[in-house]
């Protein structure tokens, strides 16, 4: 027969209470592990709060070639140019064009026409992107291009040393652009404000005919940086969104670590200013890139699990918007379900993003809810005639302004955001890549 002394009996009396405490301790430990996995900065007090990294300019597009934009130049006769240049003697039928440096030329044009865009300029001033005291003239703050005929040959010249004199620059035959080649890149010098002073820099330009259009160009370059955090080393590439001479929309991507570099980088891994770089040791916010691209600033983030945004892994921004049918919808309506926000655009592509979206919907329409987004402008009826599955949202409507701010990255956007049942961004990809990305998360319809 088993016997108990008085001490054993007293302990047995508290056994349920002790088990509750023990279970509570286990839950706390598990919770700490979850928080640590979501926010690796926990317990890493020895890591720096701010990291300022010197970048290196690299020739060619690198792994972030997705961001390459082909820029069309507006060539005009000499008298239409806003400043004087010296022309070569052996070129006829001359037309000239120029591109503004430092900031987005679209906003420059709007400003010169008296259309304001005050918020854009406030952002430039706040971010030390322009020198409001010593602002350069258009002549000082631009790169000039020339096209014409040498005999019967179509030729072009870039003012490579930026002295506004085309006589000392090479004459080149007009040819089709080879986007990925480094062979025919042209090095061009210019002046740019770096946040403290104007500095002389250079870049590589790819120029020629694209898709049968007139002469086009893009800057074929990227910046890179290597740095260490704790015992790990990391490689980052930096690319400008529109491939011009400005650093208006820089994006970064983690392309390697500890001596191993990746072969590809997916669009969902590109980070904009204000988004977060999740490293093994800690999370750092992409805080800034100097206006000349020479310095990258990262700031440590200790509360990553609470962040809201449109990058993979974070809480999707709440939204309320109206469909073209007049219905009001919100993210809350889709709580506990998968929802895809798919941007389409009439901007040129083969195949068209509308047709690609239809293929996507046929495969996955029964697996998730879908909201399709376009900037309809005056083409709303035309878009509605596509009979696209899902709810259609016009990003140009005033009451959808806040929704568009978060989920319509730019005018020609074709970005898709997959939001999971827990309200976090599960994936982010170009609509043309849906066959690669969606099978990672959902089973398609047979």
Tell me, what's the pLDDT at 144?
A: 94
Angle (CA) 59 62 63, round 5°: 175
Mean pLDDT, residues 343-364: 88
- Tell me the pTM: 0.80
Q: And the tokens for 346? A: 């009439």
pLDDT at 35: 46
CA-to-CA separations, 316 to 243, 307, 313, in angstroms, rounded: 28, 9, 9
SS3 of 379, please?
Answer: coil
Instruction: Tell me which of 113 and 273 has the higher pLDDT.
Output: 273
Measured from the Cβ of residue 291, the count of other Cβ atoms closer than 10 Å reads 26
Q: Which residue has the higher pLDDT, 427 or 4?
A: 427
pLDDT tens-place string over residues 79-91: 777 789 999 999 9
b/e per residue 118-153 (b: at least 16 CB within 10 A): eebbeebeeeebbbeeeebeeeebbbbbbbbeeeee
* pLDDT in the model for residue 409: 80
pLDDT reported for residue 1: 42
Helix, coil or strand: residue 403: helix
Helix ranges (H only) for 296-394 are 353-364, 380-384
Which pLDDT score, from 0 to 100, does residue 18 have? 55
Q: Looking at 32-41, 144-153, 165-174, which range is the least confident one?
A: 32-41
* Reported confidence tier of residue 111, pLDDT bands at 50, 70, 90: low
Task: Mention every residue, 6+ apart, whose C-beta is less than 8 A from residue 295.
Answer: 52, 53, 54, 55, 289
The mean pLDDT value of the chain amounts to 84
The superfamily CATH assigns to domain 320-440 is Glutaredoxin (3.40.30.10)
Is the bond leading into 351 cis (omega within 30 degrees of zero)?
yes
- Least confident range from 55-69, 182-196, 209-223, 251-265: namely 55-69
Q: State the pLDDT at residue 380.
A: 65
The domain spans of the chain are 50-66+221-306, 69-219, 320-440
**Helix/strand/coil for 271:** strand
Q: With 90 as the cut, is the pLDDT of residue 208 above it?
A: yes
pLDDT at 132: 63
The model's confidence at residue 13, banded by pLDDT at 50, 70 and 90, is low
DSSP 374: E
Mean pLDDT of 62-68: 76
Q: CA separation (Å) from 215 to 145, 203, 428?
A: 10, 19, 33
Compute the distance between CA of residue 108 and CA of residue 11 in angstroms, rounded to an integer: 80
- Split at pLDDT 50, 70, 90, the class of 92 is very high
Beta-strand pair 369-374/339-343: parallel
What pLDDT score does 93 carry? 95
Q: Is 427 exposed, middle or buried (0-12, 13-18, 19+ CB in 10 A)?
A: buried
């Amino acid at each position: 027969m088993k016997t108990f002394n008085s001490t054993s009996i007293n302990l047995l009396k508290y056994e349920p209470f002790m088990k509750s405490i023990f279970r509570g301790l286990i839950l706390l430990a598990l919770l700490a592990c979850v928080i640590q996995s979501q926010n690796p900065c926990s317990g890493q007090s020895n890591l720096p709060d701010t990291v300022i990294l010197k970048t290196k300019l690299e020739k060619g597009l690198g792994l972030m070639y997705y961001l390459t934009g082909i820029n069309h130049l507006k060539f005009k006769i000499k008298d239409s140019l806003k400043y004087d240049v010296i022309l070569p003697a052996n070129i006829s039928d001359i037309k000239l064009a120029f591109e503004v440096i430092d900031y987005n030329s679209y906003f420059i044009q709007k400003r010169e026409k008296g259309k304001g865009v005050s918020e854009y300029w406030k952002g430039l001033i706040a971010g030390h992107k322009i020198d409001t005291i010593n602002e350069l003239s258009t002549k000082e703050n631009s790169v000039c291009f020339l096209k014409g005929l040498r005999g019967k040959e179509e030729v072009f010249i870039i003012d490579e040393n930026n002295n506004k004199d085309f006589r000392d620059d090479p004459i080149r035959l007009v040819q089709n652009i080879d986007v990925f080649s480094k062979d025919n890149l042209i090095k061009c010098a210019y002046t740019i404000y770096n946040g403290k002073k104007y500095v002389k820099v250079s870049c590589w330009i790819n120029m020629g005919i694209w898709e049968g259009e007139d002469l086009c160009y893009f800057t074929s370059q990227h910046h890179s940086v290597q740095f260490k955090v704790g015992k790990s080393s990391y490689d980052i590439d930096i690319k400008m969104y529109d491939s011009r001479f400005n650093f208006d929309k820089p994006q970064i991507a983690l392309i390697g670590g500890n001596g191993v570099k990746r072969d590809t980088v997916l669009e969902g891994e590109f980070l904009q200013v204000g988004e977060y770089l999740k490293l093994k040791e800690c999370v750092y916010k992409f805080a800034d890139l100097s206006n000349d691209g020479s310095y990258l600033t990262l700031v440590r983030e200790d509360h990553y699990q609470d962040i809201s945004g449109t990058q993979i892994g974070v809480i999707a921004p709440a939204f309320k918007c109206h469909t073209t049918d007049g219905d009001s919808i919100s993210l809350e309506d889709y709580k506990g379900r998968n929802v895809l926000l798919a941007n389409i655009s009439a901007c040129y592509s083969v195949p068209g993003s509308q047709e690609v979206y239809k293929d996507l919907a046929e495969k996955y329409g029964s697996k998730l809810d879908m909201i399709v987004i376009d900037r309809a402008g005056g083409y709303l009826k035309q878009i509605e005639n596509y009979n696209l599955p899902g709810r259609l949202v016009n990003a140009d409507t005033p009451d959808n302004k806040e929704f568009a701010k978060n989920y319509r990255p730019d005018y020609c956007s074709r970005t898709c955001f997959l939001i999971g049942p827990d309200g976090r961004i599960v994936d982010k990809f170009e609509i043309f890549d849906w066959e690669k990305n969606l099978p990672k998360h959902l089973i398609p319809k047979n």
